[in-house]
């Protein structure tokens, strides 16, 4: 990906005052016991490939976020925080007691002395202090391109995100990397829903180019019924530009898991198959979209009750073709193994081919091949 895009400034998004009034990062409360906040930056150069920050507070209400609590607290009083890149890490996942280790208000989220998210819309700063991976990142959210993945059952569950321009410094094992990339800033919250509980969660973010992001998401319950299956194509507004309407595919959106890795036992006692090769398809009256992905094999536990990693991809959007090396994936499967095994089709998907030139992103340059 090119790093030549200037920092968004005036006219890029809503004014600070209006954005603060419209959007808030609420901490857990009496009604919304489970809260997620996060930052994702895909398409980073190797060995990074991606960066993520995922904090989940309140862990005992949804299967996809459940994690054993320490003896001194219940799960609902705990938070888990993941910050990772593609390269090998040991300290990417941490667990905290909310009352003892964390301090929250609408402008300050501090997780012990290890990480902090500061600010209000439209701008934030993320800090992480660690010998293995440290970051200081300025986050400029694009509130005009708010994406609501889901708000249903009378607002019992809410999940949204918006594009953001991220710049700053990342240190991995004392090696410095400058970050200046597009990403996604995200938030979710949920009431306790004993009868509608997601047990399967697949989320993928692809930075197609400097103007467009592609987001694929699917939720299923323990009985393998689809709760949510959508693909979003959202446009990034350049400085002083006008917002464009995002495209939402929500009918007949199919996710196929073609190959998986051998099943693994997670630290919270769940057996899980992780997707190795997969495919998304969706069609409406004006658009056909197909995504084929191959995991890079860099899955790390800590995305709530599951894993995060990166993947290579080929995308067809009508007559446009894209290919890349470092899209982002979160994958959690808490269904019974018989449902997981039933979904698998042990065959490799054919990669997208066309006589037209494919666009292959290689840092600052676009290379074309047929």
359, 321 Cβ separation under 8 angstroms:
yes
User: What is the pTM for the complete model shown?
Assistant: 0.86
- What's the residue count for the chain? 370
Task: Please determine, for residue 245, whether its predicted confidence score (pLDDT) is greater than 80.
Answer: no
Assigned domain for 10 exists? no
Considering only CA atoms, which of 327, 144, 122 is closest in space to residue 236?
A: 144
Q: What's the domain range around 60?
A: 16-369
Least trusted range by pLDDT, from 5-14, 29-38, 272-281: 5-14
* Span 129-138, pLDDT tens digits: 999 999 999 9
263, 337 Cβ separation under 8 angstroms:
yes
In angstroms, the CA 329 to CA 214 distance is 12
Assigned domain for 96 exists? yes
Assigned domain for 257 exists? yes
* Span 248-275, pLDDT tens digits: 999 889 999 999 999 999 988 889 999 9
Assigned domain for 6 exists? no
Q: Count structural domains, the chain.
A: 1
DSSP state of 313: E
Considering only CA atoms, which of 353, 315, 170, 347 is closest in space to residue 231?
A: 315
* Span 54-96, pLDDT tens digits: 999 887 666 777 766 555 567 678 889 999 999 999 999 999 9
Q: Compute the CA torsion angle 38, 44, 46, 48 (nearest 10 deg).
A: -20
Helix or strand holding residue 21 (H, E): helix 16-22
Assigned domain for 125 exists? yes
For residue 85, give the 3-state DSSP assignment: coil
């Amino acid at each position: 990906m090119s790093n030549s895009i200037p920092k968004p400034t005036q006219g890029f998004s809503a004014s600070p005052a209006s954005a603060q009034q419209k959007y808030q990062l609420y901490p857990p409360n009496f009604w919304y016991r489970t809260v997620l906040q996060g930052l994702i930056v895909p398409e980073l150069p190797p060995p990074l490939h991606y960066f993520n920050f995922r904090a989940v507070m309140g862990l005992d209400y949804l299967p996809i976020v459940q994690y054993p609590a320490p003896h001194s607290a219940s799960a609902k009083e705990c938070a888990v925080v993941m910050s990772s890149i593609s390269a090998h890490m040991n300290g990417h996942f941490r667990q905290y007691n909310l009352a003892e280790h964390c301090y929250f208000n609408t402008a300050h989220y501090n997780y012990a002395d290890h990480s902090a998210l500061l600010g209000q819309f439209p701008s934030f700063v993320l800090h992480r202090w660690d010998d293995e991976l440290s970051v200081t990142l300025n986050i400029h959210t694009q509130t005009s391109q708010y994406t609501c993945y889901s708000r249903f059952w009378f607002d019992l569950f809410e999940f949204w995100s918006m594009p953001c321009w991220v710049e700053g410094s990342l240190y991995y094992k004392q090696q410095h990397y400058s970050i200046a990339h597009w990403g996604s800033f995200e938030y979710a919250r949920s009431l306790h829903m004993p009868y509608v509980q997601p047990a399967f969660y697949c989320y993928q973010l692809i930075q197609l180019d400097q103007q467009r992001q592609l987001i694929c998401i699917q939720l299923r319950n323990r009985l393998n019924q689809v709760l949510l299956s959508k693909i979003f194509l959202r446009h990034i507004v350049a400085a002083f530009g006008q917002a464009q309407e995002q495209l939402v595919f929500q009918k007949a959106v199919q996710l196929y898991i073609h190959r998986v890795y051998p099943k693994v036992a997670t630290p919270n006692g769940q057996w899980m198959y992780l997707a190795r090769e997969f495919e998304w398809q969706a069609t409406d009256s004006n658009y056909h979209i197909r995504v084929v992905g191959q995991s890079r094999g860099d899955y790390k536990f800590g995305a709530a009750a599951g894993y995060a990693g990166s993947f290579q991809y080929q995308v067809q959007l009508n007559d446009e073709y894209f290919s890349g090396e470092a899209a982002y994936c979160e994958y959690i499967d808490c269904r019974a193994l018989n449902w997981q095994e039933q979904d698998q089709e042990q065959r490799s998907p054919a990669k997208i081919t066309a006589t037209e030139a494919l666009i292959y992103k290689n840092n600052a340059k676009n290379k074309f091949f047929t």
